Amino acid sequence: MNASARELAAHFDIEKLTSEFYADPYPTYRALREHEPVKLLPNGSWFLTRYDDLVGAYKNTKLFASDKKKEFSPKYGDSLLYQHHTTSLVFNDPPAHTRVRRLIMGALSPRAIAEMEPDLIALMDRLLETIAAKGSCELIGDFASAIPVQVIGNLLDVPMEEREPLRDWSLAILGALEPVIDAEVFARGNGAVKDFLAYLETLIARRRTKPGNPERDVLTRLIQGEDNGERLTERELLHNCIFLLNAGHETTTNLIGNGLVALSENPAEKKRLIENPGLIKTAVEEILRYESSNQLGNRMTTAQVELGGITLATGTPVTLCIGAANRDPAQFTNPEHLDIGRSPNRHLAFGTGAHQCAGMALARLEGAIAISRFLARFPDYALNAPPVRGGRVRFRGFSSVPCTVG
Ligand code: HEM
């Protein structure tokens, strides 16, 4: 095991991943953590897998920058994809980041999120009703992916009949963030930004003429800005609306899908949750840790950094492997085991520090309602064919999970 783990670590290359890796990346992550926790990849970037190293990088925005202009310029050229990703909150540093984040956090207030709960429950119950009538379901298409797109649609108050293209736009834009992309993925991502921008321009124009309630409607709040007169520029507004949809879409779909698959693969934990529904909050945290829907984060060093005796040069791209850190035995007891009551559980699924996920309260609420209501309604659900993986390294989830619902 040791020799092969050492080899696994030595040969790891994020640009040449195998089908075994996509099926189960954790043996590789473990090998890296144990043998090369600060790993130089063939493309000159570094790959970090230890929990403490990730926390250190996330908390030091001066040394580990999020701005991606330099990195994305050769990848996207002078394109709309470049404009989009470099204007998104997550790929900016203070002071621009601090100002835009304040405005977005103001719009995603705990009150705005709490007010969504009844709509969320009604939406999930409608989906469950349709599944019950069929007697079987494809967990991702019929349930997990149908939720976040409606939630963000509600958040920005996009009329129901205009929501259909949102999911494909989002998948295309996020697909272009994979470490290696071909011309087709690039063209699809770029086209999606173009169409999405055109749609948002009309939506925003309508909302300016007829504003909604800023306490509930995030788009109205983002348009109006804060009482102190702070506002997003038009470009920031457009691209961060796209970003909100993207940030909250595939990640939350994967939380729900990964959760229901992990529970069905761990029947004792599934039974424990059915018998103790009060454990849903710790269960959601554990699913986020165990099968983190967003597995990778990225930073760029702004000065020389010393990590475990290794020196990283100024201006080097660094990948923060959340999937590996969340199974680091130095932080979690028995980390390869799913324990829905785990406490404490200081996982990094939402990152930490200045960029910590701005939508985590919403994601937790969606995850808890979706998983608990699905389990309550279909306690005997069972996969009836092997689930199909999404085939992405950054966003870990399934594209299809056929199951019976009893
Ligand atoms: C399970 C679901 C989710 C996961 C796993 C997740 C994960 C993350 C992670 C890891 C980051 C930090 C990125 C970094 O530091 O580089 C992040 C940032 C962010 N997320 Fe989420 N997210 C989820 C759902 C959502 C939802 C539902 C929304 C909004 C509706 C959202 C909005 C954001 C925003 C705006 C940021 C950028 C924050 C900043 O840069 O200051 N996320 N998310």
C-alpha of 169 from chain center: 16
Reported as a single tens digit per residue, the pLDDT across 51-91 is 999 999 999 999 999 999 988 999 999 999 999 999 999 99
Residue 1 pLDDT > 50, yes or no?
no
Q: Which residues pair with 321 in a beta bridge?
A: 296
Q: How far is the CA of 105 from the centre of ligand 1 (A)?
A: 12
248 Cβ inside 6 Å of ligand 1: yes
Rounded CA gap, 220 and 158, in Å? 12
Q: How far is the CA of 238 from the centre of ligand 1 (A)?
A: 18
Three-state secondary structure call for residue 253: helix
355 Cβ inside 6 Å of ligand 1: yes
DSSP E strands, 117-183: 136-138
For residue 271 the two structure tokens come to: 């039974």
Rounded CA gap, 191 and 185, in Å? 10
Return the higher-pLDDT residue of 227 and 273. Answer: 273
CB 12 within 8 A of CB 41: yes
251 Cβ inside 6 Å of ligand 1: yes
Sign of the four-CA dihedral 190, 192, 195, 197: negative
DSSP E strands, 265-354: 296-301, 305-307, 310-312, 317-321
Share of the chain above pLDDT 90, in %: 85
Return the higher-pLDDT residue of 19 and 1. Answer: 19
Residue 24 pLDDT > 80, yes or no?
yes
Reported as a single tens digit per residue, the pLDDT across 336-364 is 999 999 999 999 999 999 999 999 999 99
Q: Which strand (E) or helix (H) includes residue 115?
A: none
Average pLDDT over residues 144-153: 91
Share of the chain above pLDDT 70, in %: 99
Rounded CA gap, 327 and 332, in Å? 7
DSSP one-letter code for 160: G
Reported as a single tens digit per residue, the pLDDT across 149-207 is 889 898 888 999 999 999 899 989 988 988 788 999 999 999 999 999 999 999 999 99
Judged on CB neighbours under 10 Å (0-12, 13-18, 19+), 313 is exposed
CA 298 to ligand 1: nearest atom: 16
Reported as a single tens digit per residue, the pLDDT across 192-238 is 999 999 999 999 999 999 999 888 888 998 999 877 888 999 999 99
Considering the chain, what is the average pLDDT of its residues? 94
Looking at residue 341, its pLDDT comes to 98
- The values of phi and psi at residue 140, to 5°, are -80, -55
Residue 14 pLDDT > 90, yes or no?
yes
Residue 3 pLDDT > 70, yes or no?
no
Three-state secondary structure call for residue 257: helix
- The values of phi and psi at residue 32, to 5°, are -65, -45
DSSP E strands, 16-107: 38-40, 46-48, 64-65
Q: How far is the CA of 386 from the centre of ligand 1 (A)?
A: 29
Query: Residues with Cβ < 8 Å from 69, sequence gap 6 or more?
Result: 86
Q: How far is the CA of 357 from the centre of ligand 1 (A)?
A: 3
**Ligand 1 pocket: which of 250, 357, 360, 392 to mutate (most atoms <8 Å of CB)?**
357
294 Cβ inside 6 Å of ligand 1: yes
CB 284 within 8 A of CB 292: no
Rounded CA gap, 344 and 282, in Å? 9
Atom 40 in ligand 1: which residue has the minimum CA distance? Answer: 90
Q: How far is the CA of 110 from the centre of ligand 1 (A)?
A: 16
Q: How far is the CA of 88 from the centre of ligand 1 (A)?
A: 11
Looking at residue 177, its pLDDT comes to 86
Looking at residue 188, its pLDDT comes to 97
Rounded CA gap, 211 and 219, in Å? 9
Q: How far is the CA of 355 from the centre of ligand 1 (A)?
A: 8
Of 222, 101, 252, nearest to 155 by C-alpha is: 222
Residue 2 pLDDT > 60, yes or no?
no
Atom 26 in ligand 1: which residue has the minimum CA distance? Answer: 248
DSSP E strands, 202-347: 296-301, 305-307, 310-312, 317-321
Reported as a single tens digit per residue, the pLDDT across 106-142 is 888 888 888 889 999 999 999 999 999 999 999 999 9
